[in-house]
Amino acid sequence: MASFSKKLKRLTRIATERGILDAGTAHALENLAEQQERERGVRSLTSLLGALGGGIVALGVVLLVAANWQGIADGAKIAGLLLLLGGAHSVGFWITATNRPYVPTAEGFHFIGAGLVVAGVGLVSQIYNLDARPPNGALIWFVAIVPLAYLLRSAAISGMAVVAFAFWAHLEGSFGRSAVEMPTFAGHLVLEVGPGIALLGTSSAMRDREPDIARVLQAFGIAPLGYGIYTLGFYRYFSEPVSGVALGAWALPVVALMLACFGLWVARENLANEAPWLRDRLNSFLVILLLIAATTVAIDFGVVPLGPDLSFFSFGGGVTFSLASLLVTFAAWVMWFLLAFWCAAFGTRSGRKRYLDVGVTAVGVGVVTRFFDLIGGQTGTGVLFVAGGSVLVGTAWAMEKWRRQTLARMGET
């Protein structure tokens, strides 16, 4: 890839030929670009050496502490942790208060301080033998860093808070002595889909005020959503209805669904506002997806009947699925492709190539997955794989041609 100075030289040459710039101004701009690249190279080397040196010092401290861990008093361990925690945030606040041009460095120190919170939870748990209930540690981590994310307006700590909340929710739902334990995998999927929709909607409302935080929340919303939709496409395999489910098992899924409803309400006018028609379609798709996720929990918790069993031929035997699990599976397939085509349409309409690439890739992944899901596991004959591979190659060629044609039209407009 050409450097910025080389690109600038080509641009200034064209501008000079067209009379936009005179030769002296073009030469001055080229010299300035070369000087900035040289200085940037020195700064990058300095930053790299500084980070490497700091990392080595930190590793050395860790090794020294680990080697003498048994001989260090418990009070000294906690005091050392508090010193590191306070020191990291103090350096970050000092950089900000003195208006030094090291904003990413200050945010990095605050991020380290937020990460040390979970180390503190683990240390206290080890010293005072609090391992009987691991979800509490994750909850303390989440509660401790949420105020930091709000007060510092930090995108990195906001992402860490999302991870802490998801970690706590899944731990709490899996813990055997928890009052809100969920006995099936479907409940955990709702913990992915519901907060994912909530984060997507919240990020759209924060896009103008806090763009960095909005991008992080959007990424942390899209990732669990994609995982949830993809996994729901295999629901007929992992559906496991349980009778006599305790009332507390509904708590976490209901909270996740309420968060999703809040996110949809926030996003009703903000999500994908560049294309109102597509925005309305996306909101409808997310509502349907939420209903599909809620239906899986209702099926596995015994509220929705399974319906009759349907048998299908499989290579070497037969398989049986309930009608309800099949309907949910097919609905998830449809939603995957609808959202993929929506991404492609939105990317084309708004001029965002990233969305177009994501949409085309999702279509390809869906085709490949459905092929191996429906056909690949039902026969071992080479002929079918040759034919199926040919179909996939043809699909890939058609998708790439479609993508290139769409990009060309976007460039023309």
The segment with the largest mean pLDDT, out of 137-146, 242-251, 258-267, is: 258-267
Share of the chain above pLDDT 90, in %: 11
Place of tokens 């609090």: 130
Pick 376 or 364 by higher pLDDT.
364
- Give CA–CA dist 337/351, Å, rounded: 21
Segment 52-95, tens digit of pLDDT: 655 565 566 666 666 676 777 767 777 777 787 777 778 777 87
State the virtual CA torsion across 310, 227, 336, 404 in degrees, nearest 10.
-140
pLDDT of 412 reads: 58
- Give CA–CA dist 239/186, Å, rounded: 8
pLDDT of 383 reads: 53
pLDDT of 335 reads: 92
Segment 371-394, tens digit of pLDDT: 777 764 444 445 555 665 666 677
Q: Which tokens go with 125?
A: 């748990």
pLDDT of 379 reads: 47
Segment 280-336, tens digit of pLDDT: 888 889 999 999 999 999 988 888 888 887 776 554 556 788 888 889 999 999 999
pLDDT of 377 reads: 47
Supply the mean pLDDT for the chain: 77
- The pLDDT of 142-163, averaged and rounded, is 84
Phi, psi of 377 (to 5 degrees): -90, 0
Segment 195-205, tens digit of pLDDT: 999 998 888 88
- Give CA–CA dist 107/152, Å, rounded: 8
Place of tokens 């390809």: 364
Least confident residue range of 86-90, 125-129, 133-137, 234-238: 125-129
pTM of the model: 0.70
Q: How far is CA 397 from CA 108, 390, 392, 405, in A?
A: 44, 11, 9, 12
